[in-house]
Structures are given as C-alpha cells and as structure tokens.
C-alpha cells in the first residue's frame, strides 16, 4: 500500500455549478434577523417594564385622587349637615315669632257689642311659621267683627289661609291658619 490516494474525487461532467453570489447573503441575513429579533425582544421588555412603572404611578395617583375625593365628599356632607342645622335654627327662630302682638290686636279689635268666648293659637310643629287660630266670638255682628279682627291681624303682616267660618245663634266660630307674610 504504498500508493496513497490523495483525491478520490473525480470530475463529473453532469454536476451543476455553484450557487450564485447573491445567495452568499442568506447566512448574513439570517444572523441579522436573529440579532434584530434579540434587539426587538430587549425593546419590548424595556417597554413592558416602563409600562408597569407608569401603571404603578397612575395607581398611586388614582388612590390619591380617591382619597382627595373622599375628603371633599366628607367636607361637603359636613357642610350639608351644618346647612340643615342652620335651616332648623331658622325655622325655630321663625316659629319663635311672638304671638302676644296677635292676641293684643285681636283683643283691641273687639267692638263693644262683641266679646271673645274662646281664643286658641297653636303652632304647627312641622312648620313653625304657621299658627292655627280658633276664635269664637259672642255677639250678633260676628261676621263684621271677624272682618275687623282679620284687618288687625293683617296689619301685623300675618296672612290667613284655609279660613273657615261657622255662624251660630249668638256666636260665630272662625278657624284659620295664620302665616307670617314677610314683606
């Protein structure tokens, strides 16, 4: 075996030639795509982390806004409660309007032929500005006396509402709600 065969290849005539030179760029393009996909993965990962961080910031802002909203709603509720209390005090003050001038005006409006048999003034607990008046007048001219009395009450800025008058034999019953007329 002294003969060493260096080349076992034989030239073949029917074998095609090599690849065109443009195909040499295929491996370069492959490695470029691999590198580009790695860079895109890195870009998307960093974008995801940035998004998570901004989402946490927005969650903190949302919680701060909700806390601020709850404090504002609490203050608003407190203001509404104070306004309701003030309205109650205003109703109370309106209800505390003295009734003595009304009774004096009714008494002074009586003529010599009429007399007061019964007088009742009751405040409405729900609407303190309304006072229910019941008046019973003895005498023959009860209708004229009631007109004179209502004129005296109207002079005190009271207005009658839902008036009812019943004339009896020698007496006249009158019922009405007196409402303060703030002019």
Q: What is the pLDDT of residues 78-103, one digit of tens each?
A: 999 999 999 888 877 766 677 888 88
User: Does residue 7 lie within any of the structural domains?
Assistant: no
CATH code: domain of residue 160? 3.30.70
Residue at a domain's end among 77, 96, 115: 96
User: Does residue 79 lie within any of the structural domains?
Assistant: yes
pTM for the full predicted model: 0.50
pLDDT tops 60 at residue 1: no
User: Does residue 115 lie within any of the structural domains?
Assistant: yes
pLDDT at 22: 86
Cβ-contact 157, 179 below 8 angstroms:
no
Start-to-end C-alpha separation, the chain: 141
Residues 154, 112 share a domain: yes
Residues 104, 77 share a domain: no
- Expressed as residue numbers, the domain containing 152 is 100-180
pLDDT tens digits along 96-139: 677 888 888 888 888 888 888 899 988 877 777 788 899 998 87
pLDDT at 180: 79
Residue at a domain's end among 44, 69, 96: 96
Q: How distant, in Å, are the alpha carbons of 80, 103, 106, 126 from that of 173?
A: 45, 16, 14, 25
The pair of structure tokens assigned to 41 is 């993965």
pLDDT tops 80 at residue 183: no
Classify residue 139 as left (phi > 0), alpha (psi -120 to 50) or beta.
left
User: Does residue 8 lie within any of the structural domains?
Assistant: no
pLDDT at 131: 86
pLDDT at 170: 82
Rounded-to-integer distance, Cα 161 and Cα 150, Å: 11
**If DSSP codes are grouped into helix, strand and coil, which group holds residue 114?**
coil
Listed range (43-52, 137-146, 153-162, 168-177) with the worst mean pLDDT:
137-146
Considering its fold, how many domains does the chain have in total?
A: 2
């Amino acid at each position: 075996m002294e003969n060493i065969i260096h080349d076992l290849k034989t030239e073949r005539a029917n074998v095609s030639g090599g690849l065109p030179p443009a195909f040499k760029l295929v491996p370069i393009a492959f490695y470029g795509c691999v590198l580009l996909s790695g860079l895109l993965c890195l870009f998307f990962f960093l974008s995801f982390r940035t998004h998570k961080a901004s989402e946490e910031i927005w969650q903190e802002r949302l919680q701060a806004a909700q806390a601020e909203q709850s404090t504002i709603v609490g203050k608003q509720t407190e203001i509404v409660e104070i306004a309701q209390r003030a309205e109650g005090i205003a109703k109370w003050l309106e209800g505390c309007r003295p009734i003595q001038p009304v009774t004096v005006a009714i008494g002074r409006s009586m003529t010599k032929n009429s007399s007061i048999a019964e007088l009742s003034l009751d405040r409405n607990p729900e609407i303190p500005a309304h006072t229910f008046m019941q008046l019973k007048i003895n005498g023959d001219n009860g209708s004229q006396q009631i007109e004179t009395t209502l004129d005296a009450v109207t002079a005190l800025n009271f207005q009658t509402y839902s008036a009812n008058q019943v004339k009896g034999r020698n007496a006249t019953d009158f019922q009405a709600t007196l409402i303060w007329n703030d002019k």
